[in-house]
Structure 1
Amino acid sequence: MSLNAYYSKSFAEFLTEDTHEILKQLVYAGGKDPLQENAWKEEILLLKEILSQWKNEATQVLFEYTIPRLAKRIDVVLLLRNIVFCLEFKVGETQYLQNDEEQVMDYALDLKNFHKESQNRVIVPILIATEAIEISHCLKFSVYNDRVYKPLFVNSSNLSQIINKVLERESPYPTQFDFVDKWEKSRYEPTPTIIEAATALYLNHSVEDITRTEASGETLKKTTDFILDVIEKTRNKKEKSICFVTGVPGAGKTLVGLNVAIEQSKRNSRKTHDSLAVYLSGNGPLVKVLTAALARDKKERDGGNYTDAVRKVKLFIQEIYNYREQMLNKIKTPIVGGKLEIDETISIADENAGHSEIEHIAIFDEAQRSWNLKKLADWLARGGSYGNKRKVPDFPMSEAEFLIWSLNLRKDWAVIVCLVGGGQEIHNGEAGIGEWVRAVKESFPNWNVYISDHLTDKEYAEGNVKNILSGCPNINYSSDLHLAVSMRSFRAEKLSLFVHHLLERNVPEAKKVYEEIKANYPICLTRNIDVAKDWLRKRARGSERYGIIVSSKAERLRPLAIDVKRECDVVHWFLDDERDLRSSLFLEDVATEFDVQGLELDWACVAWDGDLRYKESDWDYYTFRNNRWQKNRQEINQKYQINAYRVLLTRARQGMILCVPEGNREDPTRQPEFYDNTYKYLESIGLQVIPPSKNL
């Protein structure tokens, strides 16, 4: 029996086994559900009718084969003559529905991209609507020559005929006799999006299920287990602890944070709230999209009310600003003598939590981005970004110290987990991880400190962590708190390198890396936005996601119907289908670097405006103000601008098209020379140019 399927036997074994016995095995693995049982019975009977013609060959039939990345199961996989048939049954259905077509195509693509032994196989997705009419078929591969068929539509009477047609068409490929054994034992090497990963974890998949390599899965599990063990020890001893997790880029720090929060939410007794955990991020769009995705999935699987589902997800995923605001509202003002006090007229102490929030465990993602004392104090003194919040003058703490102070208010126990990115640009007002370490040492010496042995490396707080911690009691170093293996695919790693060379204007190196990736990651170039839209639509298969992304300073793309001033509703943009005008798939609303950071598309059009212009010696940086472009000369703002394009150019998982418009001689804000040099530079790297007349 396969570890990844409810049932797995050769055709010969399947044909001789009693139908009731097979059904019993499926019910045992999948649970008792009368509707599902009837569907399985129909599937078994239909397959028993048609598979006997191949019973003497090396074959396998697998029911309910797991796709961890999608957190779903393929109804039936048939392994026959080196071909992988993915069968999606719709028992009793009279029509071939688009959603069902996308579903079976997604299964095929997932096997092609992430199942090692399927990568060089022919994969045939078949949608079986048992009561639908018979339709004619043109057997052909989908848009790429990667040997994945376009979905075939059959009913209960012509499935055998279609399989035979495929076998006849693919007959030149020789049979490998160890194919079945190799396929069943093959590793599944997914690189899920953060949305897919969070959904899979929420549905009880392990981190090993959803990671690309055995090494990355083991590392994530080891780190998660270490943190869960710290939580358990801290809880039992009624102490307070802080963990610092480090990792190489793409190693899955966010995934560890989500995994800990989700695991704790499952373990927690919701009636007593004895060990609640919350994952806190300053990335608002990421939190909104994750919350909506998990809530939608929960509602779809369990039924019930969407609002209730959102409420349950928000127990363990929240924006850090809301959490911070809740604590700030409890503070007595004015602040006297630089000491924070709780205003007991508005906050009632809990027996265990004191005046802290309900959670025992707070997980701070990108902890190095917490604000320093000056930035937080200035922000609070002026009443927030827009002056519409309560003004708190003379605030005495950095954000890191305030968040530790907030958890320290608990009367029983508390754990903080800091997920730390290293070697990243520290923006104006961001304190870096050194501030967390300083705050623990100077203000909370009673806390246990569990620290990655890599936190002393130069890329973290300029290598000064060890000095800051000198003389601090209760320090525990552990290699288990460092994620050393990247989860990124080879394609993503190379794309990051290509984008680095492109933005550094290193043409020879950019060309070299592009040559290595272009077969598996197309990057095209056009001057026409309609060509770009057409390219996206024709590249996407199944439920693959595409959209137009632009710099937040790209204000003169409005003649192309691209308006960066129109706010993007990220939930609808990332999650809804092409029938919703707000969806990325509708190709009307666009997203900026602030909307997409930390999230991904399968395919993207990056529309390039005159805010970043190529010239021989360097990039020119512009901001659009008062009806004209103004040169941006501040180095820090130039860094933000180049990093915006870095984010945009690394959002697509499968490929992208860059659209550099031609401009308009009649418009002083869109002169052709604002765009021409950039286009020529990108063309010089060797990107494939798609002209308007080309039939894609």
Structure 2
Amino acid sequence: MLQSAYYESDLAAFCQASENEVLGELTAQHHFALENQQRHAWQQQISILKASLIGVAAGRIYFEFAIPRMGKRADVVVLIAGVVFVIEFKVGSATFDQAALEQVHDYALDLKNFHKGSHNATILPILVATNAAHQTLPGYCWAADRVAKPVCATPSNLFDVITAALAQTSTFPLDHSQWSHSGYQPTPTIVEAAQALYRNHDVSEIARSGADAENLGRTTDRINELIENAKESNRKVICFVTGVPGAGKTLAGLNIATTRVLGHADEHAVFLSGNGPLVDVLREALARDQAARDKVPKKDAARKVSGFVQNIHHFRDEALRDPKAPVERVVVFDEAQRAWNRDQATKFMQQKRGHADFDMSEPAFLVGVMDRHESWCVIVCLIGGGQEINTGEGGLAEWLDVMGQKFKHWDVHVSSRLDDPDYIWDTETSAALKKVFAFKDEALHLGVSMRSFRAESLSEFVGHVIENRPCDARIAYEKIVNRYPIQLTRDLNTARQWLRGKARGSERYGLVASSGAYRLRPEGIFMKSQIDAPVWFLNDRADVRSSYYLEEVASEFDVQGLELDWTGVCWDADYRFEGGGWKHYSFRGTKWQRSNAPEKQLFLKNAYRVILTRARQGMVIFVPRGSNADPTRPCAYYDSTFDYLLSCGIPELATHSPL
């Protein structure tokens, strides 16, 4: 586990201690080669804080306080009365740059959201630029959750900044010991989780746990147990892990892969996904992070990362080139329900890859590749409910069918929820499951959304909305309304302003829509224009291509498996509420056409399920007004959908003036 702080002490004892005593303890806990720049920074911080806190009331101070979700440490946290002061220093700086203000704000928000002892605390983030000119006493802007906007301070006025804040607050004093040991239960984004796991952090450091949630650790422990049993008994094993959207399936898969890579190098475990944007974003994020930490060229870091996270199609192509058993013994397939069926895989391989004799589904081929091993191997399939969104995605039926027909010598372990309607949505899949002898295991199901840390009932609410259960949706909405805001608007600029106003620190926001939302074009939304996923998800506010600019809009294919803090969901007439139910359309040429095929209807419904479950903290839904002068988007196409969403309990935002 990460040590919570390098140094902690009562304020009185800290102020009386010598600089060398404090510095010695910080150095002893550092566990890395100590550079002169870091030693100098600590010396400056100690000197400034001793001078600024000597006249302050009793409290406690923490140097290098761990923020596990972010994989970082706040310079200093000080507890005085009922206020948590998060202090970040820019030693030698004469300016207060925006990136540093965002960083200290992020630390404060992270404590508020994920550190149990800070849930009800008042938190003030402070940025100290040690060479800045003296600042006048700042104004304090406290949000509803009592986390203030960051304030700027200098060594000369830090004491005044702290005492003025204390004078403004009237909270109960915090018990320092209880606060320190209250526990940190972060809910990382999948990018943050991948970075932390790749740095060899334990999953318990970056993911929350508790009696109110299905335990992610239980699932990963069970899979590790199955792997060890396979090795000992020389068996081939496949297991199917299910989970609601955002429940941590991908996190579980990454945890398995990193655990086996770091602790069992001979297994050559790999994380595979057919989700191109997810693979691209994870690879880019891991490469950037490693390059920054290890001070190596990004291309070198990217080369190493590419062996750990792979596109499933590249794995397939290599297996076609080399008929031997692959080096990998443990393979994690993310979003396995999206693997191609026989028709799609055969068509692609024959037409695009020139393999005229290829004639099998993707699951049949992939299991066949692993079956080349003479001894043991393990396949972990991560299955999302209601996640099939594209033609040719075979769903669970393809996997079950191939295991029942061709690979009966394999041991099959399945989630005890595998026969739920979210996973078994047709008679074909149901029949395939009955033909497979499988061990059912409750530990292979992740039942609670972790993405929406404010609203574990979000997936339930979204399910009711898209299944035309408005009464149930209203009941589910009442469970989340105080923690997870959802708003409706007919004005896109209002949606943009709401997103910008809600996000704090570096919280990420962006616009999403279904890939078939072609008649949002009059609103300036061009769904035929492809985003660059790593840039959209990872670059900062200065990049016009990033999600922050609210110009480029991501589709369900871009965002599946990924997430943002806040989303603007743009709703077109492809999934249209009319005549008391949902109707499915696709825009062809110059008009809408009904989609009557059950498969296409399912894909469209799931597309909206995906875009409605991408936000961790809240969302605004934009439904255009349409125009009766345009036969492709008359008002009636949109009004009925808007009215239905209102009936689900979602309130309407007041319209802002144009930007």
TM-score for both structures, normalised by structure 1: 0.86
What amino acid is the match of 2:327? I
What amino acid is the match of 1:681? Y
Is 1:678 the equivalent of 2:641?
yes
Instruction: State the partner residue of 1:451.
Output: 413
Deviation at 1:639, TM superposition (A): 2.3
Contact kept, 8 Å, 2:281 with 2:534, in 1: the verdict is yes
Instruction: State the partner residue of 1:149.
Output: 148
| Pairing partner for 1:377 from 346, 364, 373 | 346
Instruction: State the partner residue of 1:33.
Output: 34
What amino acid is the match of 2:612? L
Counterpart mapping for 1:69-108 below 5 A:
69-108=69-108
Counterpart mapping for 1:104-143 below 5 A:
104-142=104-142
Measured against aligned partners, the alpha-carbon deviations of 1:443-485 in whole angstroms (never above 9, x if no partner) come to 45555x2625727756666676885345xxxx87766555566
Instruction: State the partner residue of 1:336.
Output: none
| Pairing partner for 1:362 from 331, 344, 347 | 331
CA distance in 1, matches of 2:340, 2:478: 42
Please state whether the residue corresponding to 1:591 is helix, strand or coil.
coil
Please state whether the residue corresponding to 2:75 is helix, strand or coil.
strand
CA distance in 1, matches of 2:577, 2:364: 43
Is 1:276 the equivalent of 2:260?
no
Deviation at 1:168, TM superposition (A): 1.0
How many residue pairs align between the two structures?
651
Distance 1:615 1:102, change over 3 A: same
Contact kept, 8 Å, 1:623 with 1:631, in 2: the verdict is yes
Please state whether the residue corresponding to 1:557 is helix, strand or coil.
helix
CA distance in 2, matches of 1:374, 1:393: 13
Contact kept, 8 Å, 2:189 with 2:451, in 1: the verdict is no
Distance 1:169 1:453, change over 3 A: closer
| Pairing partner for 2:472 from 496, 504, 509 | 509
| Pairing partner for 1:287 from 279, 282, 286 | 279
| Pairing partner for 2:458 from 495, 501, 505 | 495
Measured against aligned partners, the alpha-carbon deviations of 1:516-561 in whole angstroms (never above 9, x if no partner) come to 3233222222222222212211221100111111111111222222
| Pairing partner for 2:296 from 265, 285, 304 | 304
Instruction: State the partner residue of 2:256.
Output: 260
Deviation at 1:642, TM superposition (A): 2.1
Please state whether the residue corresponding to 1:491 is helix, strand or coil.
coil
The gaps in structure 2 that reach 5 residues or longer are none
CA distance in 1, matches of 2:238, 2:497: 48
CA distance in 2, matches of 1:674, 1:492: 30
Contact kept, 8 Å, 1:208 with 1:217, in 2: the verdict is no
Contact kept, 8 Å, 2:70 with 2:192, in 1: the verdict is yes
What amino acid is the match of 2:349? L
What amino acid is the match of 2:274? G
Is 1:621 the equivalent of 2:584?
yes
Instruction: State the partner residue of 1:206.
Output: 202
CA distance in 1, matches of 2:389, 2:92: 58
CA distance in 2, matches of 1:214, 1:168: 36
Contact kept, 8 Å, 1:285 with 1:595, in 2: the verdict is yes
CA distance in 2, matches of 1:516, 1:466: 35
What amino acid is the match of 1:209? E
CA distance in 2, matches of 1:598, 1:526: 26
Deviation at 1:236, TM superposition (A): 6.9
Is 1:187 the equivalent of 2:154?
no
Distance 1:375 1:54, change over 3 A: same
Instruction: State the partner residue of 2:356.
Output: 392
CA distance in 2, matches of 1:12, 1:695: 54
Instruction: State the partner residue of 1:351.
Output: none
Please state whether the residue corresponding to 1:492 is helix, strand or coil.
coil
What amino acid is the match of 1:654? Q
Instruction: State the partner residue of 1:630.
Output: 593
Measured against aligned partners, the alpha-carbon deviations of 1:298-329 in whole angstroms (never above 9, x if no partner) come to 11111111111111111111111121122234
Instruction: State the partner residue of 2:236.
Output: 241
Counterpart mapping for 1:465-614 below 5 A:
468-470=435-437, 481-483=444-446, 487=450, 489=452, 491-614=454-577
Is 1:51 the equivalent of 2:53?
yes
CA distance in 1, matches of 2:110, 2:263: 31
CA distance in 2, matches of 1:208, 1:2: 10
| Pairing partner for 2:314 from 322, 335, 338 | 322
CA distance in 1, matches of 2:97, 2:12: 33
CA distance in 2, matches of 1:434, 1:614: 30
Contact kept, 8 Å, 1:191 with 1:211, in 2: the verdict is yes
What amino acid is the match of 1:393? D
Measured against aligned partners, the alpha-carbon deviations of 1:486-540 in whole angstroms (never above 9, x if no partner) come to 5455633322222223223333333333333233222222222222212211221
CA distance in 2, matches of 1:589, 1:221: 37
CA distance in 2, matches of 1:564, 1:191: 31
506-515 vs 434-443, which moves further: 434-443
What amino acid is the match of 2:154? N
Deviation at 1:562, TM superposition (A): 1.0
Instruction: State the partner residue of 2:164.
Output: 165
Please state whether the residue corresponding to 1:556 is helix, strand or coil.
helix
Distance 1:476 1:644, change over 3 A: closer
Distance 1:687 1:253, change over 3 A: closer
Contact kept, 8 Å, 1:141 with 1:147, in 2: the verdict is no
Instruction: State the partner residue of 1:339.
Output: none
Is 1:640 the equivalent of 2:631?
no
Contact kept, 8 Å, 2:337 with 2:387, in 1: the verdict is no
Distance 1:363 1:38, change over 3 A: same
CA distance in 2, matches of 1:255, 1:356: 27
CA distance in 2, matches of 1:430, 1:5: 48
Contact kept, 8 Å, 1:298 with 1:309, in 2: the verdict is yes
What amino acid is the match of 2:485? P
TM-score for both structures, normalised by structure 2: 0.91
Distance 1:44 1:464, change over 3 A: farther
Deviation at 1:686, TM superposition (A): 4.6
CA distance in 2, matches of 1:356, 1:647: 36
What amino acid is the match of 2:33? K
Instruction: State the partner residue of 1:650.
Output: 613
418-427 vs 402-411, which moves further: 418-427
What amino acid is the match of 1:299? A
CA distance in 2, matches of 1:486, 1:676: 31
Deviation at 1:11, TM superposition (A): 0.9
CA distance in 2, matches of 1:499, 1:544: 23
Counterpart mapping for 1:223-242 below 5 A:
223-228=219-224, 230-231=226-227, 239-242=234-237
Please state whether the residue corresponding to 2:204 is helix, strand or coil.
coil
State the superposition RMSD in angstroms.
Answer: 3.0
CA distance in 2, matches of 1:457, 1:666: 48
Measured against aligned partners, the alpha-carbon deviations of 1:14-68 in whole angstroms (never above 9, x if no partner) come to 223332222122122222322111111211121111222236x2x2101111111
What amino acid is the match of 1:162? V
Deviation at 1:651, TM superposition (A): 1.3
CA distance in 2, matches of 1:499, 1:12: 52
CA distance in 2, matches of 1:129, 1:138: 14
249-258 vs 545-554, which moves further: 249-258
